Structure 1
Amino acid sequence: MRINRRTFMLGSAAAAGGAALGISGSRIAHAAEEVQLRAMWWGSNDRAKRTLNVAKLFQEKNPNVSIVGESISGDGYWTKLATQMAGRSIADVFQLEPSTISDYSKRGACLPLDPFVSSGLEVDAFGEDVLKLTTVDGKLWGVGLGLNSFALFYDADAFAKAGITPPGVDTTWADYADIAVEMTKAGGKRNFWGGPYGARYNYVFDAWLRQRGSSLYTESGLGFGVEEAKEWFAYWEDLRKRGGTVGPDIQTLDQNTIDTNCLALGYSAIGMAYSNQMIGYQQIMKNKIGIAMLPRAEKGGPSGHYYRPALIWSVGATTKHGEEAAKFINFFVNDVEAGKILGVERGVPLSPKVREAILPSLNPTEAETVKYVNLLKDQVGSYPAPAPLGATEFDQRVLRPIADELAFERISVGEAAERLVNEGKATVRAG
């Protein structure tokens, strides 16, 4: 496999995979006949290692195809994708997520996969409802790589040492605030707090709104108003002033990656992320971590959770090798040996055959993520409408910057709420 050295300097992912990733002499002789696919994703070094090893296995079984792998960290991924779209040179296979697939499919970044379903892309076993998760305007724009949902991670060792009960199934937001403040006090050290300043997490805001009968988006735009935004921001500001959240200088380090989250950095006892990321968190943390649902508005009330495709492979609209790209995706999600390499790092496999095959080989952390997804079975609500155009920009350029300004006390709660709705309406729109 050929590797983009710049992107893999971030970790020894290729070497850690124990694979010789060059092309053998016999293959060089046939290089002119090869199809070369570019695959691009974001994520941890562990994800890179697993992805590269599956690509190597795919190449062994398909000697006429080579994969150029590229892993990009944080928001740099979306910048790179935008550049590729502008230059009409989108990676043949690239990673999306539920909140971005609608946006990017409508912008023309993806190739519809429906023509390949009858010629090698095997998705029938996943179930019709699962395919709806990556269907927009009646067309299939990607294949989910696993199921997950939102989650709350916590430092189980720190909670045990403090003698404080961690958040659980019935924890309310009011309960959570008290727990976070108690953990800050129990930590008894500088630069350590109970939890994150979660006002800037759009997926947590989405769950919060769904618990109250609203939503982050509708098909035509924002699904909430100023008063709901005020309540959201006021909660986090009150908790910050009580000492339950990290300070803004710490929270702004978070680039929506595991290694920049305040929990992983050791600044907090609690973090909020996606359930499949538990594996990545545990790999870089010395203490044992636990997993729980996000708090809810009231005991017994809606959880706000829903099942989502953890991540998605899509095919670039500009590819000249759509059939081979679809074949690679099919291998990724349906091959049992590939499934054993991937585990549940990108979520619980959608293929029943792969899921059954990997269960005996899962380590305790991986097994916990499967247990968590199963726990949600009676807690999840319906999957939301596809995110409208501008959803990615709303997260990166509206919600996060406004939440940061609020945490730094540069604007008031009321100003933050007004701006969130006004700037959100100008950014998010129907396709």
Structure 2
Amino acid sequence: MNNMHLKRRHLLVAGLGVSLTPLLGKISAFAQDGGIRMVWWGSEERARRTNEAVDLFEQKNGGSSVETEFMGWDDYWTRLATQVAGGNAPDLIQMDYRYLFEYAGRGAIVPLDDFMGKELKIADFGAANLASCSVGGKLFGVNLGVNSFATLIDKAAWAEAGVEAPTSGTTWQQFAEKCAAFAKAGKRKNFYATADSSGQENTFEAWLLQRGKSLYTADGNLGYDVTDATDWFKLWSEIRASGGCVPPDVQALYKNTIETAPLTTGTAATDFAFSNQFAGYQKLAKSTLDLIACPTLDGGKPGHYLKPSQMLSVTAGAKNPNIAVALANFLAREPEGALILGIERGVPAAPEIRDALASKVDDVGRKALAFISHIEAYSGPLPPPPPKGSGENYNVLTRISQEVAFEQSTPEQAGETLVSETSANLKRG
């Protein structure tokens, strides 16, 4: 999944021993000939669904051709940044909320307001879902679905260990105690209560929100301090010391893909992911999974919020923006395309699509739909958006968390380093 994949014409770049230069030249020529390029991050299941929908779009729109690429999260943003800087960006890109303001602020993606009511017919998404994809009052993304962060849990594995599984409302302290009890039971070798989520920004954010803090402030500064960061690393150090989470060498194998997650590889009974990823996790899991809220803080504030799972944005250099917008609309709003995508990218924003899906989804889909309704009790307002310069901070947290896990740094040192490095990234913008 860390490799780049090209649809249908099925050219797999990694491992072929060929230069990317000729390939990029061919792709550029392709765009100039009247087609468009679309790129996203995600699993094989997401690729299957997306390519099926794109095939149908091509069939229904004679003369429109789409070349697609997909890759893992880490590779995606590195490759996209390189292509944008080199003037060779795809026409239609999958966009995440944490990068929306950065890409819009730098002029890398274009406003879509002029397409509304024409190629783009998403007024029924509602004000909140349109606003969540907007910057400065202008629409920069087409909402592909609504989701929230979640705890994914294998209840059977917890029952096997003789420990009551965490539920929505379980506090972080209770969660740590349950993980320690799971480890003490020792029912399976090299199998742990939970993945180590100390380096996962979304879990850290949920915990910060519960403390009344945030990753970033409305004016673009860091929303937490050294004490917050230190306490976070201490929490996970305690879980790690009890044997409650996977060891660092196992967690280091996680590459921000479903395929490499401890829950998927069979080393943990609990993991953390977005609700739209639930179908992908369940498809690869050997046991039945469930979704619950993240652990809470006693007397704390809500740590969840509903957000656009992903968006589709049109790049500033798009050769055929009208085709790109039409494809985005087909995937997000037209039943023929949107029903193929299902809820793999989140619960659709259009009421018509949600209603149509409700009678079509399987048990996995019903769990994901139910979770979005359930999580409202644990949700607060959308936090301030990630500002310019924040893109690298995800990787900074991951790296520093690994230094603590491998005992190369103490939680106190890690807290100071995290605040120092992430603040510096924001200042550089």
Per-residue Cα deviation, 1:178-236 (whole angstroms, up to 9, x for no partner): 11122223343332111121110111111101111110111312100011111111101
Q: Which residue of 2 aligns with 1:173?
A: 172
Q: Which residue of 1 aligns with 2:138?
A: 139
Q: Which residue of 2 aligns with 1:42?
A: 41
Per-residue Cα deviation, 1:92-141 (whole angstroms, up to 9, x for no partner): 11111111111222222211111111422112101111111111122211
**Contact kept? 1:221, 1:430, Cα under 8 Å:** no
Cα deviation for residue 361 of structure 1 reads 0.9
Q: Secondary structure of 1:218's partner?
A: coil
Structure-2 change in CA distance of 1:32 and 1:162 (3 Å)? closer
Q: Which residue of 2 aligns with 1:364?
A: 363
Q: Which residue of 1 aligns with 2:129?
A: 130
Q: Secondary structure of 1:385's partner?
A: coil
Q: Which residue of 1 aligns with 2:9?
A: 3
Q: Secondary structure of 2:130's partner?
A: helix
Per-residue Cα deviation, 1:340-390 (whole angstroms, up to 9, x for no partner): 211100000011111111111101011100000011223310011221112
**Contact kept? 1:339, 1:358, Cα under 8 Å:** no
**Contact kept? 1:295, 1:303, Cα under 8 Å:** no
Report the AA paired with residue 281 of structure 2. Y
Whole-angstrom CA distance in 2 between matches of 1:208 and 1:269: 20
**Contact kept? 1:214, 1:223, Cα under 8 Å:** yes
Whole-angstrom CA distance in 2 between matches of 1:123 and 1:322: 17
Q: Tell me whether 1:286 sits opposite 2:292 in the alignment.
A: no
**Contact kept? 1:34, 1:65, Cα under 8 Å:** no
Structure-2 change in CA distance of 1:302 and 1:85 (3 Å)? same
Structure-2 change in CA distance of 1:91 and 1:326 (3 Å)? same
Report the AA paired with residue 146 of structure 1. G
Whole-angstrom CA distance in 2 between matches of 1:195 and 1:202: 16
Q: Which residue of 1 aligns with 2:339?
A: 340
Q: Which residue of 2 aligns with 1:275?
A: 275
Whole-angstrom CA distance in 1 between matches of 2:188 and 2:164: 20
Q: Which residue of 2 aligns with 1:27?
A: none
Whole-angstrom CA distance in 2 between matches of 1:283 and 1:418: 40
Per-residue Cα deviation, 1:55-91 (whole angstroms, up to 9, x for no partner): 0111111011011010112311112101111211111
Cα deviation for residue 260 of structure 1 reads 1.1
Cα deviation for residue 430 of structure 1 reads 8.8
Residues 100-115 of structure 1 mapped to structure 2, 5 A cutoff = 100-115=99-114
**Contact kept? 2:95, 2:311, Cα under 8 Å:** yes
The count of residues paired between Structure 1 and Structure 2 equals 409
Q: Which residue of 2 aligns with 1:56?
A: 55
> Which region of structure 1 is more displaced relative to structure 2, 110-119 or 181-190?
181-190
Percent identical residues: 38
Report the AA paired with residue 160 of structure 2. K
Per-residue Cα deviation, 1:266-318 (whole angstroms, up to 9, x for no partner): 1111001111111000111111111110001116x423100011111111111
Whole-angstrom CA distance in 2 between matches of 1:382 and 1:98: 14
**Contact kept? 1:211, 1:303, Cα under 8 Å:** yes
Whole-angstrom CA distance in 1 between matches of 2:270 and 2:318: 42
Q: Secondary structure of 1:374's partner?
A: helix
> Which region of structure 1 is more displaced relative to structure 2, 100-109 or 60-69?
100-109
Residues 57-136 of structure 1 mapped to structure 2, 5 A cutoff = 57-136=56-135
Per-residue Cα deviation, 1:7-45 (whole angstroms, up to 9, x for no partner): 699xxxxxxxxxxxxxxxxxxxxx999621101011110
Q: Secondary structure of 1:263's partner?
A: helix
> Which region of structure 1 is more displaced relative to structure 2, 322-331 or 371-380?
371-380
Per-residue Cα deviation, 1:321-358 (whole angstroms, up to 9, x for no partner): 11111111011111112222111000000111111111
Gaps of 5+ in 1: 10-30
Q: CA RMSD in A?
A: 2.0
Per-residue Cα deviation, 1:149-194 (whole angstroms, up to 9, x for no partner): 0100011221232333221121000011111122223343332111
TM-score (norm 1): 0.91
**Contact kept? 2:193, 2:245, Cα under 8 Å:** yes
**Contact kept? 1:7, 1:72, Cα under 8 Å:** no
Report the AA paired with residue 402 of structure 1. I
Whole-angstrom CA distance in 2 between matches of 1:340 and 1:322: 24
Q: Secondary structure of 2:272's partner?
A: strand
Whole-angstrom CA distance in 2 between matches of 1:62 and 1:318: 22
Structure-2 change in CA distance of 1:32 and 1:71 (3 Å)? closer
**Contact kept? 2:31, 2:37, Cα under 8 Å:** no
Q: Which residue of 2 aligns with 1:427?
A: 425
Whole-angstrom CA distance in 2 between matches of 1:87 and 1:3: 24
TM-score (norm 2): 0.91
Whole-angstrom CA distance in 1 between matches of 2:348 and 2:33: 30
Q: Which residue of 2 aligns with 1:22?
A: none
Whole-angstrom CA distance in 2 between matches of 1:61 and 1:39: 17
Whole-angstrom CA distance in 1 between matches of 2:355 and 2:31: 40
Whole-angstrom CA distance in 2 between matches of 1:33 and 1:410: 51
Whole-angstrom CA distance in 2 between matches of 1:367 and 1:241: 37
Q: Tell me whether 1:413 sits opposite 2:414 in the alignment.
A: no
Whole-angstrom CA distance in 2 between matches of 1:354 and 1:264: 30
Q: Which residue of 1 aligns with 2:400?
A: 402
**Contact kept? 1:2, 1:67, Cα under 8 Å:** no
Q: Secondary structure of 1:264's partner?
A: helix
**Contact kept? 1:4, 1:69, Cα under 8 Å:** no
Residues 362-401 of structure 1 mapped to structure 2, 5 A cutoff = 362-396=361-395, 398-401=396-399
**Contact kept? 1:151, 1:274, Cα under 8 Å:** yes
Whole-angstrom CA distance in 2 between matches of 1:429 and 1:137: 21
Q: Which residue of 2 aligns with 1:13?
A: none
Q: Which residue of 2 aligns with 1:317?
A: 316
Structure-2 change in CA distance of 1:7 and 1:296 (3 Å)? farther
Report the AA paired with residue 125 of structure 2. F
Report the AA paired with residue 424 of structure 1. T
Q: Secondary structure of 2:68's partner?
A: strand
Report the AA paired with residue 12 of structure 2. R
> Which region of structure 1 is more displaced relative to structure 2, 213-222 or 202-211?
213-222
Q: Which residue of 1 aligns with 2:230?
A: 230
Q: Which residue of 1 aligns with 2:23?
A: none
